[in-house]
Amino acid sequence: MEQPRIIADITASLDGFVTGPDAGPGNGLGTGGMPLHNWVFSDDPDDRGILAGATERSGVVVMGRDLFDVIDAPDGWSDELGYGATEVGKPPFFVVTRARPETIRLTGLDWTFVTTGLEDAVSQARERATVEAAGTGVLKDVVIMGGGAIVGSALAAGLVDTFILHLSPLILGAGTPLFRAGARVELAQRDVLVTSTATHITYDVL
């Protein structure tokens, strides 16, 4: 059977930050970071189509523990706002963490906590997506959604097939960087769509 694609998908400012300063539970996009995701809540039909299509193609999602803590906080995801924003997708989620959280607020979602590292989490997610495809007949993607350290590490480790970057027309000046010094990664630009709120770029990882 064909293997699921591994896609890293994230939004960043023009100066390469995925949040503003002081990001965390209760302040998920950091100070001044909310405009990063203007495209997610845009009425532009191209933005809406990108969001809906990405949510629909997400078979399994991988994230880091910091992002999970933001999502599971009292002001995090809800029945009206979740994976894919207002799309509220409910794929299985694999969280890379040192230890399982003591409590989980979002008990209605399918969580797997992987304490053996990012590579193992991606491998387990791919296996889950393959099993789901065998049952439904539809092969969907494994999506690494962040945060920035997880996406950057996955690219550096050669775990990603396709990298989707949503560039927000915003210069934050500080915050959580998408990339830190690390491995060199070559990309081939496959698609660019410019909307009123973002530039959506799809790369194949060489």
**What are the tens digits of pLDDT across the range 8-41?**
999 999 999 999 999 999 999 999 999 999 999 9
79 or 180, greater pLDDT: 79
Is the pLDDT at 188 greater than 80? The verdict is: yes
Give the confidence band of 91 by pLDDT, cuts at 50, 70, 90.
very high
Residue-level pLDDT at 1: 66
Which of 172, 143, 163 has its CA nearest to residue 16?
172
What spatial distance separates the first Cα and last Cα of the chain, rounded to whole Å? 23
Task: Say if residue 102 is exposed, middle or buried (CB neighbours under 10 Å; 0-12, 13-18, 19+).
Answer: exposed
Is the pLDDT at 182 greater than 80? The verdict is: no
Q: For residue range 162-178, list pLDDT tens digits in order.
A: 999 999 999 999 999 99
Residue-level pLDDT at 73: 97
Residue-level pLDDT at 2: 85
**What is the maximum span of the chain, computed from C-alpha positions, in angstroms?**
47
Q: Domains of the chain by range and CATH?
A: 8-205 (3.40.430.10)
Number of helices (H), then strands (E), belonging to the chain: the values are 4, 10
The β-bridge relationship of strands 58-64 and 93-96 is parallel
Residue-level pLDDT at 56: 96
**Sign of the torsion angle spanned by Cα atoms 190, 95, 141, 39:** negative
Alpha carbons 71 and 82: distance in angstroms, whole number: 8
The pTM assigned to this predicted structure is: 0.96
DSSP state of 27: B
Alpha carbons 74 and 142: distance in angstroms, whole number: 27
**Strand pairing partners for 6?**
142
**Sign of the torsion angle spanned by Cα atoms 154, 148, 79, 55:** negative
Q: Please check whether residue 62 is in contact with residue 142, taking contact to mean a CB–CB distance below 8 angstroms.
A: yes
Residue-level pLDDT at 50: 97
Alpha carbons 177 and 129: distance in angstroms, whole number: 29
